[in-house]
Amino acid sequence: MDGKRAVIIGGSVGGLFAGNFLIKHGWTVDIVEQAQANLASRGTGIARHDELEAIFKELGIPPDDTVGVDVNGRTAFDRTGAIISHFDLTQRLGAWNRVFQPLYDAFPKARYHNGARMEHLETNGDISTITTTDGRKFEADVVIGADGFRSSVRKIVAPEIDPSYSGYVAWRGVSQEANLSEEFRANVFHHYAFLFMRSSLLIGYPMAGEDGSIEPGGRRYNYLWYYPAPGQQLTDILTDTGGKVHDYGIPPPLMQPEHVEAVRANAKRDMPASFHDAINMADTTIVQPIYDVLSQRITFGNVALIGDAAFVARPHVGVGVLKAGQDAVALTKALAECETVPAAMARYENERLLAGQRSVWHGRDLGSFIERGLDRPEDDPNYNLPPERAIKISGRPVEHMFEQGL
């Protein structure tokens, strides 16, 4: 099909992948993004998988060798700080904005509509009409929901699908390399580190500096600490300084200071001293409640869901950006190669439904010991997850596990 019109709700990485590919196939595309400002300042660290670089190449955006810091393996530490396992695996660890920005730069700015929130989605025959809260209307042959795990598109087409809370959060932060102690830089900084503690897990790794620097002294260190936060404790964390309870996350400036202090106190109690800098020297402390979304369908007439609008796997899986790109490739190829929209939608769902479900199941397996409050991952009788196996199968495309028998 060519000469068609698509409207994409959500202007982050998934929406931009889909939009740029559809334009390449001759479609007219509008992206509706509710945020007023450019999204480039959002996001933290990500793994630059080879498959992601291949998608950029297919799109005609050459890979940038300066976008990340290379690490040569994953290292598991126990709660004393001793190394208990190492797995050789070269990976490039970069910043989210270095994925977003080239995609944003490639898309026509006149058709990227910031500050536009979808209010209504109506379909008559083969054409859908999207109305935004400021009164703008867009007509489309295809609507793509790429608006994240709180997707407004999914709420309309599949209101029965709700995010499911895991029972734990991820405390996150990024430190400037220059602010870290000599001990941390010598013993921790260069590792893609997995620190296994009682009912919790910290993952940390180096990443490029804010200016893209990968030179020693100019880089940053990104950490993510999975920590139990059942029921009322989560509500307390999400209650801001004014007493308002936020639904799924809280802006760092509104977080009550005692929660940040509690993170530092817990780090002092639970972590070896060699890791304290990861928490204490972070520029900002962010909390991310860990949810997942498991869908049974990802197409609805001429509406398709991609990325986190379709499925949300827990961050243990580490392939959110890659999955968004793979969804976009599968959908846009189907739309380009099939004769009708229904045929394209059927092909896309057939290709990507099971892949998304597997990523959710995999994330649940990896986080099970935290969710269940177990001392160590190997204490869960349902999963074979000693640290030496956990570091092999975390943060990697699920298909690699099946291909390599992991």
269's tokens: 């109690």
pLDDT at 400: 56
Looking at residue 3, its pLDDT comes to 64
- What local confidence, expressed as pLDDT, does residue 318 receive? 83
pLDDT at position 44: 61
- Position 205 scores a pLDDT of 92
The H helix count followed by the E strand count for the chain is 13, 17
pTM of the model as a whole: 0.91
For position 12, what pLDDT does the model report? 94
Over residues 17-53, the pLDDT tens digits come to 999 999 999 999 999 999 887 766 665 666 777 788 8
Q: What is the pLDDT of residues 341-365, one digit of tens each?
A: 999 999 999 999 999 999 999 999 9
CATH 3.30.9.60, applies to 72-91+165-291 = yes
At 42 the pLDDT is 63
Residues in the chain predicted with pLDDT less than 50, given as ranges, are none
> Cα separation of 86 and 74, whole Å?
6
CA distance 327 to 146: 10
Of the candidates 293, 269, 263, 298, the residue with the CA atom closest to the CA atom of residue 281: 263
Check: CB of residue 348 under 8 Å from CB of residue 47.
no
Residue pair 177/184 in contact by the 8 Å Cβ criterion: no
Closest CA to 45 of 205, 168, 200: 205
What is residue 65's predicted lDDT score, i.e. its pLDDT? 58
The phi, psi pair for 65, rounded to 5°, reads -70, -10
Length of the chain: 406
CATH of domain 5-44+98-163+293-364: 3.50.50.60
Q: Indicate the domain borders of the chain.
A: 5-44+98-163+293-364, 72-91+165-291
CB 221 within 8 A of CB 206: yes
- For residues 21 and 25, give the distance between their C-alpha atoms in angstroms, rounded to a whole number: 6
For 258-284, write each residue's pLDDT tens digit.
999 999 999 999 999 999 999 999 999
Residue 185's pLDDT is what? 94
Nearest to 267 by CA among 259, 257, 255, 275: 275
| pLDDT at residue 209, rounded to an integer | 86
Q: Parallel, antiparallel, or unpaired for β 137-140 and 127-132?
A: antiparallel
Token pair for 224 = 């993510």
